[in-house]
Amino acid sequence: MRPLTRLYAFKMYRQKLIYIFFACFFTASFFYAFLISTPQMEEMLNIDIGMVGRENFPEFMMRFYVGTVGILFQVFLLTLFICEEDRNKMLCQPLLHGESRSRMMQAKICVAVSMAVLFVLLTALINYTTAFMRWGDAVFEPAALRRTAAKYLLSGVYMSVVTLGITALCVCTRSTWKTICFAVIYLLLDSLICDSSIPFLQKIWVGYYTNLYLFTYEYQQIPLRAAGWGISVMALYGLLFYRTSLCRTQNMAF
């Protein structure tokens, strides 16, 4: 690992908010695992524990992170990591020590993307831990385990692309509140497009595939065709965002 990447990684993982967030996520997962199985809760929350419990529980809990909550959390962290550093004149510091702009941005992107994937894997670990505490070995039913692992990996790909998009936004706007605004607009557009009945628009929309994996193929195997098409679209968006971030960094006036 390059020294600059290591430095950025240390800086990112020193954020106490990350640990607080995942401690809260663990608490939420724990409560859901133990309390939704009571008849009153089942009725109040309008869920069928026979469906969302046991081997399906980690998949059920995935939607609490992948989507609005996870994206908002990433936006707040990345604005802290890029926009706030830019405002405090910290972004140009590596340039004074002989680093190039693209190497600096590549290091930031590397840390941000690995963080996005790591967070999805961490939610998987948390959900499996609480599910194991509640239902024991039953959560590791092989077919469900393979299916859920594939969904978590696809969600990891989606969150990485979203992270690349937020990074591009941070570099383009160079303002915390503008980035947050655009992210909220993206979330609203995402829900509108996913609920709409315009198949062409849905096919080329980056957020549609996660919606498809999480809701349309809920507790079912994802067809290879849908997974492949989704990964291709997401990879295209990712590449576009990556190139945009690098290009804009070259034109930044510090």
Partner 1 sequence: MIIRLFDLQFARLKRQKILYLFFAVMTALILSNALSCAGGSEDAGMGYYAGGKFPTMCMQSYIDIVGTLFLGFVSAVLICGERANGMFKQPLLNGVSKKQLLLAKTGSIFAVSLLCFMFVVLCSIGTGFFFWGDQIFDHAQTYCLQMGLLLFPLTTLVLFFVFLSLYMSSISGMLCASLIILLVNNLFSQFFGAYISYFDFMYYLYAFSGYNGAELAGRIILSGILVSVITGIILAYGIRIRINRMIL
Task: Note the residues at the interface with partner 1 (CB under 8 A).
Answer: 17, 20-21, 24, 27-28, 31, 35, 41, 44-45, 68-69, 72-73, 76-77, 79-80, 83-84, 87, 176-177, 180-181, 184-185, 188, 192
Residue ranges of E strands in the chain: none
To the nearest whole angstrom, how small is the minimum distance from the Cβ of residue 235 to partner 1? 28
First to last CA, the chain: 26
Cα gap 60→47, rounded to integer Å: 11
Q: Which is nearer to partner 1, 111 or 227 (CB)?
A: 111
Q: Which of 60, 39, 55 is nearest to 135 (CA)?
A: 55
Q: Which is nearer to partner 1, 140 or 215 (CB)?
A: 215
To the nearest whole angstrom, how small is the minimum distance from the Cβ of residue 33 to partner 1? 12
To the nearest whole angstrom, how small is the minimum distance from the Cβ of residue 162 to partner 1? 16
From residue 64, alpha-carbon distances to 18, 91, 105 in Å are: 16, 33, 30
Q: Cβ(165)–Cβ(179) under 8 Å?
A: no
Q: Which is nearer to partner 1, 68 or 244 (CB)?
A: 68
To the nearest whole angstrom, how small is the minimum distance from the Cβ of residue 194 to partner 1? 12
Cα gap 139→145, rounded to integer Å: 8
Q: Which is nearer to partner 1, 23 or 236 (CB)?
A: 23
